[in-house]
Structure 1
Amino acid sequence: MELQGLNSFPFRGHQAYLKSAPHYDFVKYRQLVHEITQAFNGISKEVIQIKDRFREVYDRCDLSEHLEKIQEMEKEKLELTARLQIAKQNVQDHPSQEMYQEEMQILKHKIIKSVEAISEVLQDFKYDCEEIQ
């Protein structure tokens, strides 16, 4: 599965989960989260191998460090996304509670900033990779 497809899959899954309100189908959603977690773990292992190759074979610690930083930032983004999903459910379950709406907006903003920061590191990585060719 391509990475963009993997990124949109959890979003669609969470939308389906929210639509199952008020009797949420948590069992199905938990299975989806489990499958996505396994996919991310597989990708993470591959990235670790690539980081090691950059460091050991190509003597390019800078590229390895870029990948490490991207992985850390993606982990933070994933945590923000999980918090956003909880906030969305809280907004849906408690529409009169303004604090949930505010939390959701704050988390959306943090995710946007996170994506921008990841894009910057990816640009640096791309630029530094051009030196290999």
Structure 2
Amino acid sequence: MADSAEGGESANPLDLLKRFYALQEERVEAYRFLESGFSAYLEGAPNYNFDLYRSLVHEITRSFKTISEEVVNIQQQFHDVHSMSRLADCIGKVQVEEKDKLEQTVQLQLSRQGATDNPDDACQKAQVGELQQKIQENVQKIYDYMEDLKFESEDLYSSEGAER
């Protein structure tokens, strides 16, 4: 199934949708891994193991890039091959929010390190709080778009049941 979603040939819409959901789960796991690695990095303050953390970030970045490329391919197939522009639009909105979430997560990590290095700096603590709030709002948007996608894709599941 992954080959048809990644390669030149197109998959059926239901398989594309299932692959998209699997990719979203991979993103969630990548964020968990990134957060656990960053927490371990912060615990080393003030003697940070930057080389180890940089290696982790490199791996996570590659993972996010691969996921993103496959999601864009799925979005294009829904739009270009299957003429399902509403599904493609929902996936595109999720993709934009995921990009923003990743950028905000990087900013949050920098702010958290700054707050760790300067525990008396009220501005750093405030910035951490603001970024955490932005990420929560971003996550809510992703959830809302995923709900929209679920609603827009109901016909795919009902047609699958009719074929059996």
**TM-score > 0.5, shorter chain as reference:** yes
- Aligned-partner residue type, residue 134 of structure 2: K
Root-mean-square deviation over aligned CA pairs: 1.3
2:54 matched to which residue of 1? 30
User: TM-score by structure 1 length?
Assistant: 0.94
Aligned to 2:69, which of 41, 45, 49? 45
**Partner Cα separation in structure 1 for residue 125 and residue 155 of structure 2:** 46
Q: Secondary structure at the match of 2:155?
A: coil
Look up the SS of the partner of 2:71 in the other structure: helix
Equivalent position amino acid for 1:15 in 2: S
Unmatched runs of 5 consecutive residues or more in structure 1: none
Letter of the 1:72 counterpart: V
The residue aligned with 2:44 is 20
Q: Does 1:72 align with 2:96?
A: yes
Q: Is contact 2:87–2:153 with CA below 8 Å preserved after alignment?
A: yes
Shift of 1:117: 0.8
| Aligned amino acid, residue 73 of structure 1 | E
Partner of 1:109: 133
2:120 is aligned to 96
- Moved beyond 4 Å, runs of 4+: none
1:2 match: secondary structure = helix
Distance 1:60 1:24 in 2: 48
Larger radius of gyration: 2
How many residues of Structure 1 are paired with residues of Structure 2 in the alignment? 133
Secondary structure of the corresponding residue to residue 23 of structure 1: coil
Rounded to whole Å, the distance in 1 between the matches of 2:109 and 2:43 is: 13
- Mind listing any 5+ residue stretches in structure 2 that lack a counterpart? 1-24, 160-164
Return the alpha-carbon distance in structure 2 between the equivalents of residues 3 and 24 of structure 1. Answer: 26
Q: CA deviation at 1:131?
A: 1.9
CA distance in 2: counterparts of 1:38 and 1:72, whole angstroms: 18
Instruction: Give the conservation status (yes or no) of the 8 Å contact 2:27–2:64.
Output: no
What's the CA shift for 1:44? 1.0
Match status 1:8 vs 2:21: no
| Superimposed CA distance per residue, residues 107-127 of structure 1 (whole angstroms, 9 cap, x where no aligned partner) | 111111110011001100111
Match of 2:22 in 1: none
CA deviations 1:40-91 (Å, max 9, x no partner) are 1111111112112111222101111111111111111111111111111111
- Say whether the 8 Å CA contact 2:34–2:57 is kept in structure 1: yes
The CA distance in 1 between the partners of 2:33 and 2:83, in whole Å, is 36
SS at match of 1:95: coil
2:116 maps to a residue whose letter is Q
Same amino acid, percent of matched pairs: 36
